[in-house]
Structure 1
Amino acid sequence: MFRFSEGKNSALGRFLLFQLSSLFLFTPLNSQNFSPKTITTNSEELILVTEVSSGKPRSEKVYGNADFLKREYSPASTFKTYLVLSLLENNIIDPKEKIECADKHIPNSPRLLDLRDALFYSSNDYFEKVFPKLGKEKLDLTLHKIGYLENYKSDLKVQDWWIDLTGLKHGGRIRLTPKSVHSSWSKIFENGYGLPKDLIEEWKKTLFWSECPEKSANVYGKTGSWEGSFWFQGALVKSENDYIIYTILNRNKSGSRTGTIIRFYELAGCKVPSLE
């Protein structure tokens, strides 16, 4: 089960209150319909959705507070998605190797985590331990190669965004628009980076969250929480030509990591996984 510490009120309770305060009605996905009908939003939320389906035009929709689209935010721990790509690309780590980590926010910590676990729980300890083998220069090369820093001038140097090892967990000084964050995530599932297929498949394995039998699909995702932003990037994938990509940005003061996870699974029409 998810057992993240969220204070006195449960994440589920806050989520239900959030639903009651929504400005629009929400119709969840059903087992016969893979794509969302309508989506609930309020003034503190932005949701970007990209749908790809064989034989149908690509669909890109935005729900919620459009003012958020004009601003730049820290990608928070969604940045670790691309840190993992650099680790894999440079053969720095065996994805199955388990490392003992002692993050306070992770259940049953200290505990052994492999690469997929480290992303799922967003372990800072794990990445601080493996990063010295990679180094900021190789990471910077990966980020430039895939266009992750496209919001910036092409001559951006690593010292312009790098802070220190602690700042690695949220991408240092990097600030991106929600559309840029969403675009980077979407490209993973459409192989928009032109990377070798075996590298893409290994990358996706680390991003796997759960099966969704309700939709005959798999869920991939990454959370992020920093500077008042709560992100969840999710992908509901039936096949390489049939999937829906979500980016959720919640700026509510009562928002939480767990609440944003629950939000995604409600949108996707899938059961929240009971994984420890």
Structure 2
Amino acid sequence: MFQFSEGRNSALGRYLLFQLSFLFFLTPLHSQKLSPKTVTPNPEELILITEVSSGKSKTEKVYGASEFLKREYSPASTFKTYLVLSLLENNIIDPKEKIESADKHIPNSPRLLDLRDALFYSSNDYFEKVFPKLGKEKLDLTLRKIGYLENSKSNSKLADWWIDLAGLKHGGRIRLTPKSVHSSWSKIFENGYGLNKDLMEEWKKALFWSKCQEREANVYGKTGSWEGSFWFQGALIRSENDYVIYTILNRSKSGSRTGTITRFYRLAGCKVPSLE
């Protein structure tokens, strides 16, 4: 502890203490933890969080409706994340090419969308148009390679998941536990798939959502809405050794896509981007 005598030294002491206090309140964002200090789950909500901090081991936390952990749900449009991987892996699309897409849930539709736009707005029309060039066989090879269905109890045979082209938007008959959905998402940012570096960079570009100036980080994400489930998978990435991965599952009757997106951004401490 600092000790100072009366008079001039006392004034110097007050000045130094003021400077120390000032520096404390101006701690750079890059030295602050990315994970939320507290998480209070909403009713009918499950939140899974994986955090990696520089120089520290990985931590995993679960908040909310623990009964959801024992059940399997449709991954909904989070499935498109892995459809996109297969499209990129097989050089089916140019990520920058814009395709006219008409979806009722997308503002100002019909509109031209590139790959990143198609994921951001979760366009069904876009992926139905490009999928025939890929086909189920190549998609299945990608799903096998990354072990997407390994932890699914209700999908013993990969071939059984397919329904039709319209079912592509939610993964057909696929049903997965929230932990399995979260694990597949986390591996993207943990380099857990062992994929080519250039392929991973293109994949992440397609999953980019916004800059988070408040946390000096990038946000990546994917929504999903199907069968009463509202998903948001988010990643707040500061560096390859400093990030937080989120999976939010809301099964409230009052749940919504926009509400789940907003929920993630509030947890992450970032400004919600324009959804228009």
User: What's the TM-score, normalizing by structure 2?
Assistant: 0.87
Q: Describe the shift of the 1:91–1:239 C-alpha distance in structure 2 as closer, same or farther (beyond 3 A).
A: same
Q: Which amino acid aligns with 2:206?
A: T
Instruction: Tell me which residue corresponds to 1:43.
Output: 43
Instruction: Tell me which residue corresponds to 1:85.
Output: 85
Instruction: Tell me which residue corresponds to 2:194.
Output: 194
SS across alignment from 1:194: coil
Instruction: Tell me which residue corresponds to 2:269.
Output: 269
Aligned residues: 246
Instruction: Tell me which residue corresponds to 1:156.
Output: 157
SS across alignment from 1:56: coil
Deviation, 1:56, is 0.9
Matches within 5 A, 1:59-74: 59-74=59-74
Q: Which amino acid aligns with 2:157?
A: L
Greater Cα shift, 33-42 or 94-103: 33-42
- Measured against aligned partners, the alpha-carbon deviations of 1:28-63 in whole angstroms (never above 9, x if no partner) come to xx9544221110113300000000112112110000
Any stretches of 5+ residues in structure 1 without a counterpart? 1-29
SS across alignment from 2:271: coil
Deviation, 1:251, is 0.3
Q: Which amino acid aligns with 1:175?
A: R
SS across alignment from 2:270: coil
Q: Is 2:236–2:244's contact at 8 Å kept on the other side of the alignment?
A: yes
Q: Following the alignment from structure 1 to structure 2, what is the Cα–Cα distance between the partners of residues 43 and 207?
A: 28
- Measured against aligned partners, the alpha-carbon deviations of 1:160-187 in whole angstroms (never above 9, x if no partner) come to 1100000000000000000000000000
- Write 1 or 2 for the structure with the bigger share of helix: 2
Identity %: 85
- Measured against aligned partners, the alpha-carbon deviations of 1:216-254 in whole angstroms (never above 9, x if no partner) come to 000000000000000000000001111000000000001
Deviation, 1:125, is 0.2
SS across alignment from 2:210: strand
Any stretches of 5+ residues in structure 2 without a counterpart? 1-27
SS across alignment from 1:61: strand
Deviation, 1:157, is 3.5
Instruction: Tell me which residue corresponds to 1:100.
Output: 100
Q: Following the alignment from structure 1 to structure 2, what is the Cα–Cα distance between the partners of residues 155 and 260?
A: 31
Q: Following the alignment from structure 1 to structure 2, what is the Cα–Cα distance between the partners of residues 257 and 163?
A: 24
Q: Following the alignment from structure 1 to structure 2, what is the Cα–Cα distance between the partners of residues 141 and 202?
A: 19
Instruction: Tell me which residue corresponds to 1:259.
Output: 259
Q: Is 2:220–2:236's contact at 8 Å kept on the other side of the alignment?
A: yes
Matches within 5 A, 1:126-275: 126-152=126-152, 156-158=157-159, 160-275=160-275
Q: Is 2:212–2:270's contact at 8 Å kept on the other side of the alignment?
A: yes
Q: Following the alignment from structure 1 to structure 2, what is the Cα–Cα distance between the partners of residues 85 and 252?
A: 30
Q: Which has the larger radius of gyration?
A: 2
Q: Following the alignment from structure 1 to structure 2, what is the Cα–Cα distance between the partners of residues 149 and 33?
A: 33
Q: Which amino acid aligns with 2:127?
A: F
Q: Describe the shift of the 1:157–1:180 C-alpha distance in structure 2 as closer, same or farther (beyond 3 A).
A: closer
Q: Following the alignment from structure 1 to structure 2, what is the Cα–Cα distance between the partners of residues 67 and 146?
A: 27
User: What's the TM-score, normalizing by structure 1?
Assistant: 0.87
Q: Which amino acid aligns with 2:196?
A: P
Q: Following the alignment from structure 1 to structure 2, what is the Cα–Cα distance between the partners of residues 43 and 175?
A: 23
Deviation, 1:120, is 0.2
Q: Which amino acid aligns with 1:68?
A: F
SS across alignment from 2:80: helix
Q: Following the alignment from structure 1 to structure 2, what is the Cα–Cα distance between the partners of residues 184 and 95?
A: 22
Instruction: Tell me which residue corresponds to 2:3.
Output: none
SS across alignment from 1:175: coil
- Measured against aligned partners, the alpha-carbon deviations of 1:178-214 in whole angstroms (never above 9, x if no partner) come to 0000000000001100001110010000000000010
